[in-house]
Amino acid sequence: MDIHEYQAKEILARFGVPVPRGGLAYSPEQAGYRARELGGSAWVVKAQIHSGGRGAAGGVKLCKTPDEVHAFAATLFGKQLVTKQTDANGKGVYRVWVEGASDIAQELYLGFVLDRKSERIMIVASAHGGMEIEDLADSDPNSLRRMTIDPAVGLSEFQARELAFQLGLQGGQVAQMVTTLRACYRAYRDLDAVMVEINPLVITHSGDLVALDAKMSFDTNALFRQSQIAELRDRSQEDPRESTAGDHGLSYVGLDGDIGCIINGAGLAMATMDMIKLAGGEPANFLDIGGGASPERVVRAFRTVLADGNVSVILVNIFAGINRCDWVAQGVVQAYKEVGLTIPVVVRLAGTNVEEGKAIIDSSGLPLISADTLAEAAAAAVASRPKPATHKAA
């Protein structure tokens, strides 16, 4: 689960990370008021969306007067901001963050991520911040510094000092970096985060370290014990199909194709999408209904897939272990009748109670297409798609 920049800054500040003073606004008028409230002679207005690259997309601006703050905020509210990290639809802007401008002498990069290879939390840092880390890795890979943290020990002071020296910090900046690094680590560990990023972490002309931007992402599976984090969820930034599916216990990821997929097991779902591609089609989604799928759960899966208006065919691929093929077959028949399906449905069943499941499909009297193998199912789904209209030459 992602959160907004201002939320990440509030969390990190509680753990001891220095951040600029700022205020949240839900209207242009409130944005102008925030500027006057903060005081000073310059302010930065930032669109709050769950995406990086906001500056390049026109979502961040340095303003010199409260009226300019008001005017720029007015251009943001209600806008679908498209960045290189969003799809073509972008993300809606419904709140902005206004903070006092900082006196920047140098920009650093700092990130905490899970390194699955070493099974450790890894710090990635660079003396060159303000850039996307992917671009930085390509343009100047030697500038990146990496350090893993043993979870049984935590981030020690000597490790933090070593990293500060590698980044070229001196004097009091080293102590500030040690405080910032250890605060970020505690936030990552205590709140079940999967990513903490400060980009840029700036050094001001007075020598102070300040987190000018911040991102945090959290393990969705751990939200049950992080209620204060779960409350920060912003559904307006989520794909409505994915959030609705998650509310019903379904794992769903929307894609760009037209063949809807209802499958049990993440590995089988990936294999099915690959087979659809191999057959010449494009999957519309990843959907894992999980184990113990009741007929009602299957119906919910159908409704979730059909929420995507691009879907022209549905492929049901179930390899039953914990699941039972007869349950799934009952759900397919029930969904066809309840939802009023008018598009082709291909069903491939295997595993527990497969014969009973196939019998239910065959005796339903519905135009369901049965397949015995995954390859047959993928080919049938691709063949069942509506043919593009052809126009004869006059």
The CATH code of the domain that includes 58 is 3.30.1490.20
286/364 same-domain check: yes
Q: Residue 131: pLDDT above 80?
A: no
> Would you list which residues are annotated within the binding site for Mg(2+)?
199, 213
With CA atoms as reference, report the closest residue to 123 among 169, 77, 168, 156.
156
Residue 352 gets the label, from left (phi > 0), alpha (psi -120 to 50) or beta, of beta
CATH number of the domain to which 143 belongs: 3.30.470.20
- Give the lowest-confidence range in 56-70, 229-243, 358-372: 229-243
pLDDT given for residue 392 in this prediction: 53
Instruction: Answer yes or no: is 12 within a domain.
Output: no
264/367 same-domain check: yes
Residue 307: pLDDT band (50, 70, 90) is: confident
Contact 197, 215 (CB under 8 A): yes
Instruction: Answer yes or no: is 1 within a domain.
Output: no
- What does the block give as tokens for 250? 């379904």
pLDDT given for residue 247 in this prediction: 67
Provide the whole-model pTM: 0.76
Residue 15: pLDDT band (50, 70, 90) is: very high
- Of 57, 75, 100, the one marking the end of a domain is 100
pLDDT given for residue 393 in this prediction: 52
340/318 same-domain check: yes
Query: Looking at residues 275-292, what average pLDDT do you find?
Result: 87
88/114 same-domain check: no
25/115 same-domain check: no
Ranges of H-type helices in the chain: 5-15, 28-38, 66-76, 133-139, 157-166, 172-190, 227-230, 240-247, 266-278, 295-306, 325-339, 354-362, 374-383
249/278 same-domain check: yes
Q: Please indicate whether residue 287 or residue 164 has the higher confidence score (pLDDT).
A: 164
Query: Can you give the three-state secondary structure of 152-191, one letter per residue?
Result: CCCCCHHHHHHHHHHCCCCCHHHHHHHHHHHHHHHHHHHC
Residue 139: pLDDT band (50, 70, 90) is: confident
Instruction: Answer yes or no: is 126 within a domain.
Output: yes
How many domains does the structure of the chain reveal?
3
pLDDT given for residue 68 in this prediction: 97
Helix/strand/coil percentages in the chain, nearest 5: 40, 25, 35
pLDDT given for residue 351 in this prediction: 86
pLDDT given for residue 225 in this prediction: 94
Query: Looking at residues 110-136, what average pLDDT do you find?
Result: 86
Q: Residue 390: pLDDT above 80?
A: no
Q: Is 47 exposed, middle or buried (0-12, 13-18, 19+ CB in 10 A)?
A: buried
Q: Residue 312: pLDDT above 80?
A: yes
- Give the lowest-confidence range in 7-21, 55-69, 330-344: 330-344
Containing structural domain, residue 78? 21-100
257/130 same-domain check: no
Query: Looking at residues 235-255, what average pLDDT do you find?
Result: 75
- Euclidean distance between the first and the last CA atom of the chain, given in angstroms as a whole number: 55
Calculate the alpha carbon distances from 259 to 9, 29, 312, 313 in Å: 41, 46, 6, 5
Q: Residue 262: pLDDT above 80?
A: yes
Catalytic annotation, residues: 109, 197
- Of 203, 229, 255, the one marking the end of a domain is 229
Indicate the SS3 state at residue 15: helix
Residue 394: pLDDT band (50, 70, 90) is: very low
User: Is the backbone peptide bond immediately before 18 cis, with ω within 30 degrees of 0?
Assistant: no
pLDDT given for residue 79 in this prediction: 93
Identity of the residue numbered 22: G
pLDDT given for residue 338 in this prediction: 87
Cα of 70 vs its chain's centroid, Å: 30
Q: Residue 241: pLDDT above 80?
A: no
Query: Looking at residues 338-367, what average pLDDT do you find?
Result: 89
pLDDT given for residue 197 in this prediction: 95
DSSP string covering 252-316: EEE-SSSEEEEESSHHHHHHHHHHHHHTT--B-EEEE--SS--HHHHHHHHHHHHTSTT--EEEE
- Kindly give the interhelix angle for 325-339 and 295-306, rounded to the nearest 10 degrees: 50
pLDDT given for residue 81 in this prediction: 93
352/288 same-domain check: yes
Instruction: Answer yes or no: is 15 within a domain.
Output: no
Residue 389: pLDDT band (50, 70, 90) is: low
Instruction: Answer yes or no: is 150 within a domain.
Output: yes
Dihedral (CA of 174, 175, 179, 185) sign: positive
Query: Looking at residues 286-291, what average pLDDT do you find?
Result: 80
Instruction: Answer yes or no: is 117 within a domain.
Output: yes
Residue 212 gets the label, from left (phi > 0), alpha (psi -120 to 50) or beta, of alpha
Instruction: Answer yes or no: is 391 within a domain.
Output: no
Please state, rounded to an integer, the average pLDDT across all residues of the chain: 89
What is the rounded CA–CA span in Å between residue 187 and residue 215? 12
What is the rounded CA–CA span in Å between residue 178 and residue 209? 11
- What does the block give as tokens for 143? 């500038």
Contact 289, 263 (CB under 8 A): yes
Cα of 6 vs its chain's centroid, Å: 17
Residue 249 gets the label, from left (phi > 0), alpha (psi -120 to 50) or beta, of left
Query: Looking at residues 145-163, what average pLDDT do you find?
Result: 92
Highest mean pLDDT among 63-77, 252-266, 375-389: 63-77
β-strands 259-263, 368-371 pairing: unpaired
Contact 279, 380 (CB under 8 A): no
224/245 same-domain check: no
146/73 same-domain check: no
Residue 2: pLDDT band (50, 70, 90) is: very high
pLDDT given for residue 388 in this prediction: 63
Query: Looking at residues 208-221, what average pLDDT do you find?
Result: 94
Instruction: Answer yes or no: is 14 within a domain.
Output: no
- Give the lowest-confidence range in 17-31, 205-219, 337-351: 337-351
β-strands 313-320, 259-263 pairing: parallel
- Kindly give the interhelix angle for 157-166 and 172-190, rounded to the nearest 10 degrees: 120
Q: Please indicate whether residue 71 or residue 141 has the higher confidence score (pLDDT).
A: 71
